[in-house]
Homo-oligomer: A and B are copies of this chain.
């Protein structure tokens, strides 16, 4: 289990390698990487700034990760989330889960990102092409995606 909140970029290949190294009981690793898109709806976006609540963020991420380990038989997992200024195309977040079974890896990885999106205290401010920063509104679809794991 590993949770990191950082300004600097990360290397997905290296993270995947570290996740599975020296555990040949792992049959599959599912990962999701979120990237900064160049559009918000129909508005061009040049980048964004990610704010967070230091302390609470790590606590919530660790709790979400622990919940995944409760629900699925996981060998390893990883959550990395960047904060600070980012440009279009930059990596924002990576979640990954490793298990003997691919179904568990898929479901738990999906769960991690869905819960992270509605429970971890991060806020995005998108930069318009004029340099203005606009706070992103939470989406109902994210709330619904998160809720389905409560069933």
Contacts and interface: CB of A to CB of B under 8 A. Distances in A.
Interface of A: 11-14, 16-17, 20, 24-39, 88-89, 100, 102-103, 105-106, 109-110, 113, 145
B38 A89 contact: no
A30 B32 contact: yes
Nearest to A96: B31
A37 B25 contact: yes
A74 B89 CA distance: 16
How many subunits of this chain does the assembly comprise? Answer: 2
Given A13-B11, A13-B13, A102-B113, A20 B35 contact: yes
B30 A35 contact: no
A110 B14 CA distance: 23
Nearest to A103: B145
Given A13-B16, A25-B38, A31-B32, 4 more contacts: A24-B35, A26-B35, A29-B33, A34-B102
A130 B103 CA distance: 31
A33 B16 contact: yes
A27 B34 contact: yes
Given A13-B14, A113-B102, A27 B37 contact: yes
A71 B96 CA distance: 24
B30 A31 contact: yes
The 5 closest A-B pairs by CB, nearest first: A13-B13, A24-B38, A24-B89, A24-B88, A29-B33
Contacts of A113: 102
Contact of A12 (B16, B24, B32, B105): B16
